[in-house]
Amino acid sequence: MRMFKMLLAAARGLLLAAVLASLAYGAASVFLLSAINNALRTLPEGRGRGVALFAAMALLMVLAQTTSSVLFMRLCQRTQANLRWYIFQRATSAPYRRVEQVVERRACRRCGDGAGRGRRPNRTTSRRRSTLKTWPA
Domain holding 77, by residue range, is 2-99
Question: Which helix (H) or strand (E) segment is 114 a member of?
Answer: none
The C-alpha atoms of residue 137 and residue 133 are separated, in whole angstroms, by 12
Number of domains in the chain: 1
The C-alpha atoms of residue 137 and residue 135 are separated, in whole angstroms, by 6
Residue 50 lies in a domain: yes
Residue 92 lies in a domain: yes
Residue 108 lies in a domain: no
Residue 72 lies in a domain: yes
Section 104-122 average pLDDT = 61
Residue 80 lies in a domain: yes
The answer to whether 29 touches 47, Cβ cutoff 8 Å, is no
Predicted TM-score (pTM) of this structure: 0.58
Read off the pLDDT of residues 33-76 as tens digits, 9 standing for 90 and up: 888 888 788 777 767 777 888 888 899 999 999 999 999 999 88
Residue 33 lies in a domain: yes
Residue 29 lies in a domain: yes
Residue 119 lies in a domain: no
